[in-house]
Amino acid sequence: MTKGFGKDDVKVEFEIPQEQIDMLLKKYKKIKKYQKSSLYAVKTMDGTEDVVSKMIEEAKQEGF
């Protein structure tokens, strides 16, 4: 079976500035910490949580 469109040796390289990677990781860690908190659990049960639920809905619309 072939991978993708039959091109096994295709490599894509790109550069991302380290400061953007650091900013993205910091944001990701804050969101994950929020998801583990009891405040997130309470807001989810209450139906008022909108930070993570918006991101999940957006991902579903994009097809992820």
Cα 2 to Cα 48: distance, rounded to the nearest angstrom? 46
| Number of domain units in the chain | 1
Assigned domain for 5 exists: no
Assigned domain for 45 exists: yes
Assigned domain for 34 exists: yes
Assigned domain for 2 exists: no
Assigned domain for 30 exists: yes
Q: Residue 3's CB: how many other CB atoms inside 10 A? A: 8
Range of the domain at 23: 18-62
SS (H, E, C) 15-37: CCCHHHHHHHHHHHHHHHHHHHC
Assigned domain for 9 exists: no
Task: Encode the chain (64 residues) as per-residue pLDDT tens digits.
Answer: 455 666 666 777 889 999 999 999 999 999 999 999 999 999 999 999 999 999 989 999 998 7
Assigned domain for 13 exists: no
- The reply to whether the predicted model has a pTM over 0.85 is no
